[in-house]
Amino acid sequence: RKSTCEAARLVLAAAVEAGAPEDIIGWIDEPSLELSNAVMHHPDINLILATGGPGMVKAAYSSGKPAIGVGAGNTPAVIDECADIKRAVASILMSKTFDNGVVCASEQSAIVVDAVYDAVRDRFAHHGGHILSAAEADAVRKVLLVDGHLNADIVGQSAHTIAAMAGIAVPATTKVLIGEVTDIADAEPFAHEKLSPTLALYRAADFQDACDKAAALVALGGIGHTSVLYTDQDQQGGRIRQFGAVMKTARILINTPSSQGGIGDLYNFRLAPSLTLGCGSWGGNSISENVGPQHLINKKTVAKRAENMLWHKLPKSIYFRRGILPFALEELRGKKRCLIVTDRFLFENGYVAETVRILKNLGLEVETFFEVAADPTLAVVRKGLSLANAFQPDVILALGGGSPMDAAKIMWVMYEAPEVAFEDLALRFMDIRKRIYTFPKLGVKAQLVAVPTTSGTGSEVTPFAVVTDERTGTKYPIADYELTPSMAIIDANLVMDMPKGLTAAGGIDAVTHALEAYVSVIANEYTDGQALQALKLLKGHLPSAYINGAKDPKARELVHNGATLAGIAFANAFLGVCHSMAHKLGAEFHLPHGIANALLIANVIRYNAADIPTKQTAFSQYDRPKGVARYAEVARHLELGGSRDHERVEKLI
């Protein structure tokens, strides 16, 4: 108490001399629980830093003030057979005599493996440690604790003084009183924090037993504080990791005197210098590190508004024009095996045969999985995956509409990274580039080539896939840029015979893609042009493609290209509530996705085209509601007429 007050006086004098306020530091000359409690509840107190027993820390946390409390220690030091015994013993003796053991990080017990126990014991005895006899140990036990609590009279006293208090005689040069004990229990005084140059000495059968004993001692009274291991730190990394995994302490010191090592910046440079050591939630504290000035100051952060980094990601290669399929597939020359993923209709009606012929002429072995149906399920994906695992392709070629491409993408992930769990792939996110689950790197074992035979989904250029859990009926939209195909082949000859219904559904799907990408909060200079061009192509040629089909091959081609452009736009700007609801509507009533979009898009436009929306989506570059203006821009681009923005929106609808 007197030393603490005198230290405070010295620091105050130095602070005032340096220009600090005269009352910057204060103290209580005669401390009591009542005075401490009054100070903690005083209205001028802004923060409490509580160093003391559990009662003091609890009182601080219960004061209603911001508080940083630290816990009690009961540091065990394990010495294994690989340790430098001379250094270990010298370190512990030095630590225990520093401030006569009052530092809360000081060793309270040494746990020595049987192989070196006698050598360590003898080393302690020869260098100032007094190994207590059984009778002497009993005498010391009586002065260590009083009524189950630490005896305040021994705190900070020398080993010689404590021995005298216990009625035993030891040399005046004795550094530490060492009791050989076996029990780790409340009833064993040596097993507790003693804040004096007294030490428990335990024998352990082996390293595992030593770790178990150390963990038990920490749990008894020093959880969260400090533990020590003496071993060969250069050769015994495994033991260090094992010890670290077992110990519930914030400070795990290796080959270090714990009093000096725990307070930091002397025997290691990982711990901040401090005599106030947090124990984390283990010890009922708010922090687990050494308390420093950074914990006692308020920080102001001035953060200027900044926009997210945006991106424009595409397949490495996109090939387009009628009749280019055989030329584009030349890119696969040199590959060994190709797995085609398609649906039964395309397989049985000859649409796959030409692709198989081209691939075989290029020297590839070909296997075909043709069991994909609309709204592909996890069961179908896993069946295709089994074929892929057996065939070991270095190319996966998705041929068909959105369903084969969706199935192929998920198969690709599971083929490349069999350890992934679908549940992880389906985790939601706010920013696709900052998702919790990191997708595996794809393209290591196989390329994914996407060849659309419908015009609408845009899946051939997007990082999205939709798969249904057949057990629950739940549709999972999976999104990550790793899912972007390696190559997309946009050959309009493959869509010439699309039926009218599919042409309409796919066309409206593509229109919705472009519209939602253009009004997205992530829309940008790169996606805007593709969305608008897609809408221009679709407006100009979708009616003829629907009415005339293969009789107007140019319209078919431009609609096909428009659908892919819309895919590129929404791959990078994303979609909105129309598509979100369309997935739910389609899953519930088994509607084609394009039809579900068609049923919703007009009302979605009206909903989005609000001058004062109920809520604005949070995204840094989207600084104000723009729905009306963006839809009006689309109407102007498509030359739909109208003199005012709201009129243009109605023309668009």
Residues 536-572 pLDDT 10s: 999 999 999 999 999 999 999 999 999 999 999 999 9
Dist. CA 180–CA 178, nearest whole Å: 7
The CATH 3.40.50.1970 portion of the chain extends over: 317-652
104 is catalytic: yes
Percentage helix, strand, coil, to 5, in the chain? 45, 15, 35
DSSP notation for 528-581: HHHHHHHHHHHHHHHHHHHHHGGG-HHHHHHHHHHHHHHHHHHHHH---HHHHH
77/79 Cα distance (integer angstroms): 7
Residue in the block written with tokens 């490349």 = 416
Helix axes 500-519, 553-573, angle to 10 degrees: 40
How far, in Å, CA of 360 to CA of 346, rounded?
A: 19
How many CA atoms lie within 13 Å of 291's alpha carbon, on the beta-carbon side? Answer: 22
Tokens standing for residue 176: 């530490």
Report the C-alpha gap between 233 and 259 in whole angstroms.
19
Paired with 359 in beta bridges are none
Task: Count Cβ neighbours within 10 Å for each residue of 392-404 and write b for 16 or more, e otherwise.
Answer: ebebbbbbbbbbb
What is the pLDDT at residue 381? 96
3-state DSSP of 477-520 = EEECHHHCCCEEEECHHHHCCCCHHHHHHHHHHHHHHHHHHHHC
Q: How far is residue 636 from each of residues 42, 351, 575, 639, 651, measured CA to CA in Å?
A: 68, 40, 21, 5, 10
Residue 215, classed as helix, strand or coil, is helix
The strand ranges marked E within 191-320 are: 198-204, 224-230, 249-254, 317-320
Please give the Cα distance from 593 to 464 (Å, whole number).
15
- The C-alpha atoms of residue 226 and residue 589 are separated, in whole angstroms, by 62
DSSP 323: T
C-alpha–C-alpha distance, residues 573 and 575, integer Å: 7
Say what the pLDDT of residue 308 is: 84
| Separation of alpha carbons 255 and 231, rounded Å | 7
Residue 396 DSSP symbol: E
**Res 458: pLDDT:** 96
Phi, psi of 478 (to 5 degrees): -105, 135
Numbered ranges of CATH 3.40.309.10 in the chain: 75-268
> Given this model, what pLDDT does residue 615 score?
87
Q: Looking at residue 477, what is its pLDDT?
A: 84
Amino acid letter, residue 180: E
Q: Which residues pair with 372 in a beta bridge?
A: 343
Question: How far is it, in rounded angstroms, from Cα 326 to Cα 319?
Answer: 11
Between strands 149-150 and 145-146, the pairing is antiparallel
- Residue 123 has φ and ψ, to the nearest 5°, of -65, -40
Residue 49, judged by CB atoms within 10 A of its CB (0-12, 13-18, 19+), counts as middle
Q: Which residues of the chain have pLDDT under 70?
A: 53
Q: Exactly one of 104, 279, 338, 578 is catalytic; name it.
A: 104
CA quadruple 406, 409, 413, 415: dihedral sign: positive
Could you tell me the CATH superfamily of domain 75-268? Aldehyde Dehydrogenase; Chain A, domain 2 (3.40.309.10)
Tell me the C-alpha distance between 44 and 63, whole Å.
Answer: 13
> Cα 261 from chain centroid?
31
pLDDT in tens, 29-69: 998 888 988 999 999 999 999 887 677 788 888 898 999 98
What beta strand segments (E) does 244-394 contain? Answer: 249-254, 317-320, 337-343, 365-372
Architecture of domain 317-652: 3-Layer(aba) Sandwich (3.40)
pTM of the predicted structure, to 2 decimals = 0.75
Classify residue 620 by its DSSP letter. T
Residue written as token pair 């085209």: 609
* DSSP result, 357-383: HHHHHTT-EEEEEEEE-SS-BHHHHHH
Q: How far is it, in rounded angstroms, from Cα 512 to Cα 520?
A: 12
**Per-residue pLDDT at 100:** 96
Nearest to 538 by CA among 563, 518, 516, 513: 563
The pLDDT, as a whole number, for residue 430 is 75
Of the candidates 633, 517, 509, 514, the residue with the CA atom closest to the CA atom of residue 573: 517
